[in-house]
Structure 1
Amino acid sequence: MSRLNRTLKLAMLFLILLVPQGWVANFSYASGSHGGEHHQEESKGPHGGRLLEQGDLVVELALVERSGKAEFRAWIQEDGKALDNAELTLTLVRLGGESQHIALYRDANIDYWRSQEHLAEPHSFDIELSLIHKRGRAKWQFESHEGRVKIDESTAEKAGIKTAIAAPGVIQERITLYGKTTIDHRSLSHVRARYPGTVVTIEKALGDSIQKGEKLATIESNDSLQTYSLIAPISGQIIDKQASRGEFSGDRVLFTIANYKQIWAELQVFPTRRGQIARGQKVSITADGLSFDSTIVSLAPGGNGTPFAIARAMIENPEDIWTTDLMVQGDVVTHESPAPLVVENQALQPFRNWTVVFVKVGDAYEIRPLELGRTDGRVTEVLSGLNPGDRYVTENSYLIKADIEKSGAAHHH
């Protein structure tokens, strides 16, 4: 419930941040003649494409998708008549600067020009269309963006949007074990009087923290009638006290001190998994919102006739946030294999019929549909759709997805 509340608060904050800054995705087209002197509103042609005009020349350009493939088609007229002989090329520049040059061809049995190159998703580009014909040249430049929004750094930071660099990684095979935390018995001390006698003073109470060398009590020896100090042999916390002033100390334990700066996770390993668990394996230990990455340091019989072995891993606990007797889960890495490119699983979002991440270039964010491979629950292998070195959103990517869908920029040609 707390995670859901946090998510809702982030979403509300994000929307609040957008309103005063007027952050609305702008997907209008800016078109112009060569040199950028002429701009016009977008108009549609009879085939549903974009009309581009310059003098007596009219070009209708459409991006047509069929059976999962896309191609550009163009219809060209000069003085109201179809133009048969021309050289028509497109330069597509994607977010990040990657460019693609495309030539359009006309077959004898069709009335339009068409591209043959593969067009990867998303179909989001800055476009330059160049036309060469016997009477001269013409050029148009315009934007055709989809799945893209802009967010300034301040808004992104306030919304909790975080990014990472796409890079090679490791896919892990894991086995989940269960157990509990226990004290490291090397960090447990039972303190007795060196010389039996009367307890004269008590310096520490049950539950007190204590440093090695501090005085616990004063004892008067029965033999010498001399007093001496009972000193703490380790730092830690007094978890048991059996000493009172005026009592005879005898040989019993007067104080028990435990140091919780390091504790054990003891994980149960049943016979069916015994062959997969070994010393030195990495293990991620989690309990009640806590987590710690450790290593299995020992594997021993459970004892007392139990049917399982015990795998022990050390938890460093300098802030005393872990306690003993916590029920824990241990995800043990049994195998690792390299992957040329991985992304964090939390970055992945469903979008249309794809799984996508959002790449970041400057203040712009844009979808990248991915072909995915192996996963281990933490990271997923990327087979295509992303390049090493691309910066992508890892946290709160759902906010970007929501704004793209809200703005109607999900699929615009």
Structure 2
Amino acid sequence: MKYRNKLRSIFAAVPLAALLACTAALVVPTLVVASAEEEHGEEHGEHEEERGPNGGRLLEEGDLEVELLISERGGTAELRAWISERGKALTKAGDARLAVELTRLGGKVDRFNFAPADGFWLGKGAVEEPHSFDVKVLLARNAERAEWHYESYEGRVEIASEMAAKVGIKTAATGPGEISQSLTLYGKTALAHGSLSHVRARFPGPIKTVLAEIGDRVRKGQKLAEVESNDSLQVYPITSPIDGLVIDKQASSGEYSGERELFTIANYDQLWAELRLFPSQRGQVARGQKVTLQADGQVVDTQVANLVPGTPGQPFVLVRTPIDNRKISWPPDLMLEGQVLVDHVRVPLLVESRALQPLGDGMVVFVKVGDSYEARPVELGRSDGRVTEVLSGLEVGQRYVTANSYLIKADIEKSGAAHAH
């Protein structure tokens, strides 16, 4: 996985992260980054590196000169070098010996030996992402020896542990785990049986008083109105048969009750989700399977209670799952999505999905070593939304950022340290 696909120098001046300030008053903490020259230039007396005619980093020692470049062609990154002595190009195998060591965050070392190619020297092997390392270059020419050491970092910041804790950066270790495989179904909410009641007068007569209005929450047995019976001329109460909400009222004092519906009471504490299941999906769903419902920005966990036929002529059955609606207050007929858990898959390496951040042309995870955080491009596999399989780019046991990884991404983008060779 690459950020860009073009020729890039391996030794550009890439910022190192230095966390300078963050106050508790900030809603979103800002991590201020210092450049490599600011951190190290004064100590070592270094200046901006020279560039060679091929766009690579120019290294000089006495009469010897090496220009070093990362070249990306066909999706593969390779090391190229041009070697010269007193301005004369050295192009034959016996002219010199060149080797490069790239030490990555965490201590892994990639070694490259060079051989003459078509007008340049080619390092044997591909340079893997990320292109962020401490560099050691070794050149031998007859009895002469030259050695250079550089830092070439990209996507890397330094954050003290105290500050990381203050801004809420958290980490976890990569490792194996289970990914849930789900079937996505769509449907809507429906009232539970017995949750809707239409209230009429038992004995028709004039309505004497009305004690409930639309929107009132009433209890079972609560008085809604009083009616005078035409037969007995006695006033008797009309009460609510269930706990619920008055959603309709057709009663006013002085009117004749007749046999019409005077009140409609609905109890929304318990709803049903009715999800459409088509014949090709039928074999994947059974009673008792876990279901995650999503609607209106809210999530509910439940399970399949039963499967019932749809209305005549419809090519699906309904997967019915109960909903405890007391906290979420969903209305009936709300369109929703259901994820029915149909299987668990064990994978060798996964990360929390919230750890993934888009950077450059792909997705990255930020790996932590000491106080250093570095973007690692990853190739991703299956996901259930909560966790995601990583096919390449990470190793088991590495610590990676889970919470607030966006803060690190923001610093890297601000400092220009994202793949800037």
Asked if residue 347 in structure 1 is aligned to residue 347 in structure 2, the reply is no
Matches within 5 A, 1:11-410: 23=32, 26-28=35-37, 38-41=44-47, 42-44=49-51, 48-51=56-59, 60=66, 62=68, 64-65=70-71, 68-71=76-79, 90=101, 92-94=103-105, 98-101=106-109, 119-127=127-135, 142-148=150-156, 168-191=176-199, 199-212=207-220, 214-218=222-226, 229-245=237-253, 254-287=262-295, 289-319=297-327, 321-343=329-351, 344=353, 347=356, 349=358, 351-352=360-361, 355-359=362-366, 361=368, 366-375=374-383, 380-388=388-396, 390-392=399-401, 400=409, 404=413, 408-410=416-418
Mark the CA change 1:119 to 1:270 in structure 2 (over 3 Å): closer, same or farther. Answer: closer
CA–CA distance in 2 between the matches of 1:184 and 1:371? 45
> Could you say what secondary structure the match of 2:272 adopts?
strand
Mark the CA change 1:61 to 1:280 in structure 2 (over 3 Å): closer, same or farther. Answer: farther
TM-score of the superposed pair, with normalisation by structure 1:
0.66
Task: State the 1:266 CA deviation.
Answer: 1.6
Task: Report Cα offsets for 1:221-254 as digits up to 9, x if no partner.
Answer: 7898776654434332112334444567677654
Contact 2:59–2:148 (Cα < 8 Å) also in 1: no
Task: State the 1:308 CA deviation.
Answer: 2.8
- Where does structure 2 lack aligned partners over 5 or more consecutive residues? 1-25
CA–CA distance in 2 between the matches of 1:317 and 1:109? 71
> Could you say what secondary structure the match of 1:280 adopts?
coil
> Could you say what secondary structure the match of 2:305 adopts?
strand
TM-score of the superposed pair, with normalisation by structure 2:
0.65
The Cα RMSD (Å) is 5.5
Q: Could you tell me which amino acid in structure 1 is paired with residue 273 of structure 2?
A: A
Contact 2:209–2:226 (Cα < 8 Å) also in 1: yes
Contact 1:296–1:313 (Cα < 8 Å) also in 2: yes
CA–CA distance in 1 between the matches of 2:172 and 2:222? 49
CA–CA distance in 1 between the matches of 2:147 and 2:128? 24
Q: Could you tell me which amino acid in structure 1 is paired with residue 46 of structure 2?
A: Q
- Larger deviation: 42-51 or 290-299? 42-51
Contact 2:177–2:350 (Cα < 8 Å) also in 1: yes
Mark the CA change 1:103 to 1:400 in structure 2 (over 3 Å): closer, same or farther. Answer: closer
CA–CA distance in 2 between the matches of 1:342 and 1:151? 25
Contact 1:261–1:317 (Cα < 8 Å) also in 2: yes
CA–CA distance in 1 between the matches of 2:131 and 2:216? 67
Mark the CA change 1:52 to 1:21 in structure 2 (over 3 Å): closer, same or farther. Answer: farther
CA–CA distance in 2 between the matches of 1:395 and 1:175? 30
> Could you say what secondary structure the match of 1:340 adopts?
strand
Task: State the 1:145 CA deviation.
Answer: 0.8
- Where does structure 1 lack aligned partners over 5 or more consecutive residues? 1-16
Task: State the 1:310 CA deviation.
Answer: 1.6
Task: Report Cα offsets for 1:257-284 as digits up to 9, x if no partner.
Answer: 2111222222233334333332233334
Task: State the 1:385 CA deviation.
Answer: 0.4
CA–CA distance in 1 between the matches of 2:342 and 2:407? 33
CA–CA distance in 2 between the matches of 1:334 and 1:72? 51
CA–CA distance in 1 between the matches of 2:184 and 2:131? 42
CA–CA distance in 2 between the matches of 1:290 and 1:21? 30
Equivalent pairs counted in the alignment come to 381
Contact 1:270–1:309 (Cα < 8 Å) also in 2: yes
Mark the CA change 1:152 to 1:253 in structure 2 (over 3 Å): closer, same or farther. Answer: farther
